[in-house]
């Protein structure tokens, strides 16, 4: 049986566009001889459509778009996700399309309602597992979370005879998630003694980025096909359900142990034949990567997976490219300080958009050092972006003058420092207004966590590219990008601009000789405290038990708690850790519980 996984980049709310993308993918899969094509979860609306699901006309329009896709299916079967209106509820559903019509509908049974998922808010739960018979093979159709639980509908469908388990998915990325997902699927394939094929969405959607990385595994849990990470792809692969069937004769677990315990009823929702049997088997493409986990008998393309830091970098690039394009911008602008954070954001931006669609603004003040400003210039020149120098001293003087009376008799303090950041923020927003450039904000997760940024100053902007990257990871990402083009930064006795930026101690340069470590613990300590406090919800004592200095722990906890109001006002940015600072971590602003 030939299966195609159409890993496409959908746009939330673009119903007709998503229908067109689906039709193109199904047509390409049909031409490749696929009997069945799986598309990502909620294909028609994109994922997550959020409160669009409360609008009746949106649901009606989605159904019209689904019927357009159905009309374009002939000789093949396609699994296409859509929100199904059923009585007074909406279901996260997948339509079985064939011969120009909707042949059956499958409802998601297990709704995720944790982390970034809010599915109880929107959906009713399906009450049965679904099997579709395709060319005589019983195929289970499941929707994302349905397969993440060992006792979900896939288990029931497999116990009822399904030898192939398909999954239409919108599984957002965080560091290492692709490998975690593959391991989970391998376990399901082995436990259910079935071929497993998961088609994941790819692309950026506000704070989420979907990594693609769709996979097909044989009934022994070995990967037979793997699609690209962070790029659209059509994975076409021949699988062998008969081998699963034969293995079950020797492996009685599904029959004896599972079945009585599985409460989910199973229904066969369609019986279909395709024209795919007329196609010869695919020729074996070149194979590469990770032989220990991959099937020697498979014939699908096997993309090698990226290493952990390259993977995060690719996520930032795709998320930035999609946010910019899907929101109708062509060019972005950022303040380039000669520091590490704006350096990383610049590198991601040029890789996402091309240097000609990025503008770097260098905005020296009297506190800016010659080193940072010349590194900012050199860096912009090294990567070939247009740069502009806008000195902020005249604006600082103007503010001093305007505020002279209300501030008379008062010492200079943080107020004047923050004004510099606000002047820069204002200039970037003015350039944005005038030229239609989107402002990329440069704050990292460590700063965002402790509130080390100026409200309406350096935190102003449209998209916060590295908002979920701790400072220590920022260095790793720059090091990774450096070795992608090792000769681009000045070599052999020349000034190496990237080395110079990396080696300089971090400073906001808002007063003379300022350094971040005067206000914050060293970043390696800070990031360990933050990982424990922000991502794992550990308390003071647990952090101190991990060997972290008590005074630092107490101060950081206090700063994180106090800065909730700032984070609520920050631009959206890319989630790359298991617990990002956006909808993943919801704490009250008004809150007397410390720690
Ligand atoms: N609970 C609450 N709800 C709503 N608003 C609240 C609030 N608490 C304070 N505020 C408001 O927030 C104001 C304080 O916030 P804000 O004006 O931002 O000022 P603030 O947080 O006091 O100072 C900014 C900090 O960020 C550092 N910084 C700035 C710029 C760049 C960098 C860098 O290295 O990247 C670091 C700077 O050195 C300083 O430590 C208060 O004056 C008040 O108006
Ligand atoms: N002289 C400057 N010219 C242009 N932009 C600046 C300048 N100083 C600060 N910015 C902008 O404000 C952001 C906050 O910078 P700041 O130097 O205060 O701290 P940072 O968090 O260490 O960032 P970076 O590592 O990029 O310097 C910078 O990333 C940059 O976008
Ligand atoms: N859309 C979904 O159901 C996704 C849930 C799944 N557990 C994931 O994190 O990928």
Q: What is the pLDDT of residues 73-83, one digit of tens each?
A: 988 999 999 99
148 and 291 both lie in a single domain:
yes
Is residue 145 in contact with ligand 3, taking CB distance under 6 Å? yes
User: How many Å apart are CA 189 and CA 565, to the nearest integer?
Assistant: 45
Q: Which atom of ligand 2 sits closest to the CA of residue 452? A: 21
Pair 116, 584: CB distance under 8 Å: yes
367 and 219 both lie in a single domain:
no
Name the residue of 12, 171, 175 to mutate for ligand 3: max ligand atoms within 8 A of Cβ: 171
Which has the closest alpha carbon to 229: 291, 143, 170, 315? 315
User: How many Å apart are CA 181 and CA 184, to the nearest integer?
Assistant: 5
Is 120 within a domain? yes
- Take residue 594 and report the two structure tokens written for it: 């410390």
DSSP-assigned letter for residue 494: S
pLDDT score at 493: 64
Over residues 412-421, mean pLDDT: 96
Please report which ligand is nearest the Cα atom of 516.
1
- Take residue 263 and report the two structure tokens written for it: 């409460």
- Burial of 578: CB neighbours in 10 Å, binned 0-12, 13-18, 19+: middle
Cβ-Cβ contacts under 8 Å for 126 (sequence gap 6 or more): 91, 93, 106, 107, 108, 109, 153
**Minimum mean pLDDT range among 77-91, 141-155, 164-178, 283-297:** 283-297
388 and 337 both lie in a single domain:
yes
Is residue 458 in contact with ligand 2, taking CB distance under 6 Å? yes
Q: Is 447 annotated as a binding residue?
A: yes
The domain that holds 66 is classified in CATH as 3.60.110.10
pLDDT score at 279: 60
Is residue 336 in contact with ligand 2, taking CB distance under 6 Å? yes
Is residue 38 in contact with ligand 3, taking CB distance under 6 Å? no
Is 526 within a domain? no
Is 382 within a domain? yes
Going by alpha carbons, the residue nearest to atom 32 of ligand 1 is: 453
Over residues 338-353, mean pLDDT: 98
User: How many Å apart are CA 313 and CA 477, to the nearest integer?
Assistant: 6
**Ligand 1 centroid to residue 538 C-alpha, Å:** 25
- Take residue 317 and report the two structure tokens written for it: 């690039």
Q: For 546-563, how does the pLDDT look when each residue is reduced to its tens digit (9 = 90+)? A: 999 999 999 999 999 999
Is residue 1 in contact with ligand 1, taking CB distance under 6 Å? no
Q: For 28-37, how does the pLDDT look when each residue is reduced to its tens digit (9 = 90+)? A: 999 999 999 9
Check whether 290 has a pLDDT greater than 50: no
Going by alpha carbons, the residue nearest to atom 31 of ligand 2 is: 335
175 and 106 both lie in a single domain:
yes
Structural domain span for residue 227: 2-305
298 and 320 both lie in a single domain:
no
Check whether 254 has a pLDDT greater than 80: no
Cβ-Cβ contacts under 8 Å for 411 (sequence gap 6 or more): none
The neighbour count for residue 370, using CB atoms within 10 Å, is: 9
376 and 270 both lie in a single domain:
no
Q: Which of 464, 498, 517 is the last residue of a domain?
A: 517
pLDDT score at 298: 57
**Ligand 2 centroid to residue 363 C-alpha, Å:** 9
pLDDT score at 594: 84
Is residue 81 in contact with ligand 3, taking CB distance under 6 Å? no
383 and 291 both lie in a single domain:
no
The domain that holds 499 is classified in CATH as 3.40.50.620
Please report which ligand is nearest the Cα atom of 478.
2
274 and 388 both lie in a single domain:
no
Which has the closest alpha carbon to 354: 332, 376, 369, 381? 332
3-state secondary structure of 107: strand
Q: Is 336 annotated as a binding residue?
A: yes
Is 531 within a domain? no
- Burial of 434: CB neighbours in 10 Å, binned 0-12, 13-18, 19+: exposed
418 and 293 both lie in a single domain:
no
Q: For 138-156, how does the pLDDT look when each residue is reduced to its tens digit (9 = 90+)? A: 999 999 999 999 989 999 9
3-state secondary structure of 456: coil
Q: Which of 290, 305, 320 is the last residue of a domain?
A: 305
Q: For 182-224, how does the pLDDT look when each residue is reduced to its tens digit (9 = 90+)? A: 999 999 999 999 999 999 999 999 999 999 999 999 999 999 9
User: How many Å apart are CA 147 and CA 188, to the nearest integer?
Assistant: 8
Q: Is 584 annotated as a binding residue?
A: no
460 and 503 both lie in a single domain:
yes
Is 551 within a domain? no
Q: Is 341 annotated as a binding residue?
A: yes
State the DSSP H helix or E strand holding residue 103, giving kind and residue range, or none if neither: strand 101-107
Q: Given pLDDT bands bounded at 50, 70 and 90, which one contains residue 282?
A: low
Provide DSSP, 328-393: T---EEEE--SSHHHHHHHHHHHHHH-GGGEEEEE---TTS-HHHHHHHHHHHHHHT-EEEE---H
Rg, C-alpha atoms of the chain: 27
pLDDT score at 252: 78
- pTM: predicted TM-score of the whole model, two decimal places: 0.94
Provide DSSP, 23-64: HHHHHHHHHTT-SEEE--TTTTT-S--GGGGG-HHHHHHHHH
Name the percent of the chain in helix, strand, coil, to the closest 5.
40, 20, 40
Going by alpha carbons, the residue nearest to atom 8 of ligand 1 is: 565
Is 484 within a domain? yes
Check whether 285 has a pLDDT greater than 50: no
Is 585 within a domain? no
Q: Which value does ipTM take for this structure?
A: 0.90
452 and 325 both lie in a single domain:
yes
Q: For 35-61, how does the pLDDT look when each residue is reduced to its tens digit (9 = 90+)? A: 999 999 999 999 999 999 999 999 999
* Residue 565 or residue 254, greater confidence: 565
449 and 419 both lie in a single domain:
yes
Mean of the per-residue pLDDT values of the chain: 93
Check whether 409 has a pLDDT greater than 60: yes
- For the chain, give the percent of residues with pLDDT over 70: 94
User: How many Å apart are CA 250 and CA 239, to the nearest integer?
Assistant: 20
How many domains, in total, are found in the chain?
A: 2
Q: For the stretch 508-529, what's the b/e string if a residue is b when 16 or more beta carbons lie within 10 angstroms of its beta carbon?
A: bbbbeeeebeeebbebebbbbb
Check whether 249 has a pLDDT greater than 70: yes
Tell me which residues are annotated as active site. 41, 108, 144
Is 152 within a domain? yes
pLDDT score at 292: 44
Is residue 454 in contact with ligand 1, taking CB distance under 6 Å? yes
Check whether 289 has a pLDDT greater than 50: no
Q: Which of 499, 517, 535 is the last residue of a domain?
A: 517
User: How many Å apart are CA 476 and CA 14, to the nearest integer?
Assistant: 36
């Amino acid at each position: 049986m030939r299966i195609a996984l159409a890993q496409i980049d959908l746009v939330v709310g673009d119903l007709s566009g998503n229908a067109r993308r689906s039709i193109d993918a199904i047509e390409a899969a049909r031409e490749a001889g696929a009997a069945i094509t799986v598309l990502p979860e909620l294909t028609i609306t994109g994922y997550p459509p959020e409160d669009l699901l409360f609008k009746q006309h949106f649901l009606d329009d989605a159904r019209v778009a689904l019927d357009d896709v159905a009309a374009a299916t002939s000789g093949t079967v396609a699994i296409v996700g859509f929100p199904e209106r059923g009585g007074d509820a909406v279901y996260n559903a997948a339509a079985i399309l064939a011969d120009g019509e909707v042949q059956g509908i499958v409802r998601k049974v297990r709704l995720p309602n944790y982390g970034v998922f809010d599915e109880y808010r929107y959906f009713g739960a399906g009450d049965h597992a679904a099997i579709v018979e395709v060319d005589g093979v019983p195929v289970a159709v499941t929707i994302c979370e349905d397969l993440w639980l060992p006792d979900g509908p896939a288990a029931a469908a497999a116990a009822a005879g399904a030898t192939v388990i398909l999954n239409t998915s919108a599984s957002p990325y965080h560091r290492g998630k692709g490998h975690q997902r593959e391991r989970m699927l391998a376990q399901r394939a082995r436990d259910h003694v079935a071929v497993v094929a998961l088609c994941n969405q790819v692309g950026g959607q506000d704070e989420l980025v979907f990594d693609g990385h769709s996979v097909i595994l044989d009934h022994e849990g070995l990967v037979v096909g793997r699609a690209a990470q962070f790029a659209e792809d059509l994975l076409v692969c021949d699988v062998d359900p008969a081998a699963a069937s034969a293995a079950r004769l020797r492996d009685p677990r599904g029959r004896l142990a599972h079945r009585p315990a599985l409460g989910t009823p199973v229904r066969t929702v369609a019986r279909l034949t395709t024209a795919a049997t007329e196609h010869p088997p695919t020729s074996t493409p070149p194979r590469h990567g990770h032989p220990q986990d991959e099937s020697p008998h498979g014939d699908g393309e096997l993309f090698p997976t990226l290493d952990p830091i390259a993977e995060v970098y690719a996520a930032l690039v795709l998320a930035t490219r999609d946010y910019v394009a899907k929101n109708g911008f062509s060019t972005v602008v950022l303040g380039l300080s000669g520091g590490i954070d704006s350096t990383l954001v610049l590198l991601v931006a040029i890789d996402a958009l091309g240097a000609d669609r990025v503008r770097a603004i260098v905005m020296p003040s009297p506190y800016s050092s010659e080193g940072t400003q010349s590194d900012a210039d050199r860096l912009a020149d090294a990567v070939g972006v247009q740069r502009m120098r806008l000195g902020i001293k005249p604006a600082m003087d103007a503010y001093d003058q305007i505020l002279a009376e209300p501030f008379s008799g008062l010492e200079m303090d943080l107020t004047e420092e923050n004004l510099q950041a606000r002047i820069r923020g204002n200039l970037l927003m003015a350039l944005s207004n005038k030229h239609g450039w989107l402002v990329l904000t440069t704050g990292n997760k460590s700063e965002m966590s402790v509130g080390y940024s100026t409200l309406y100053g350096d935190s102003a902007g449209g998209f916060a590219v590295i908002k979920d990257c701790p400072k220590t990871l920022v260095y790793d990402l720059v090091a990774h990008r450096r070795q992608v083009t090792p000769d681009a930064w000045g070599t052999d006795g020349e000034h190496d601009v990237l080395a110079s930026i990396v080696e300089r101690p971090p400073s906001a340069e808002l007063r003379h000789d300022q350094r971040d470590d005067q206000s914050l613990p060293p970043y390696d300590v800070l990031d360990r405290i933050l990982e424990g406090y922000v991502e794992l919800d550990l308390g003071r004592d647990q952090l101190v038990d991990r060997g972290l200095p008590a005074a630092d722990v107490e101060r950081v906890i206090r700063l994180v708690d106090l800065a909730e109001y700032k984070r609520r006002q920050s631009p959206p940015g890319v989630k790359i850790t298991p617990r990002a600072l956006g909808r993943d971590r919801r704490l009250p602003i008004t809150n007397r519980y410390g720690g």
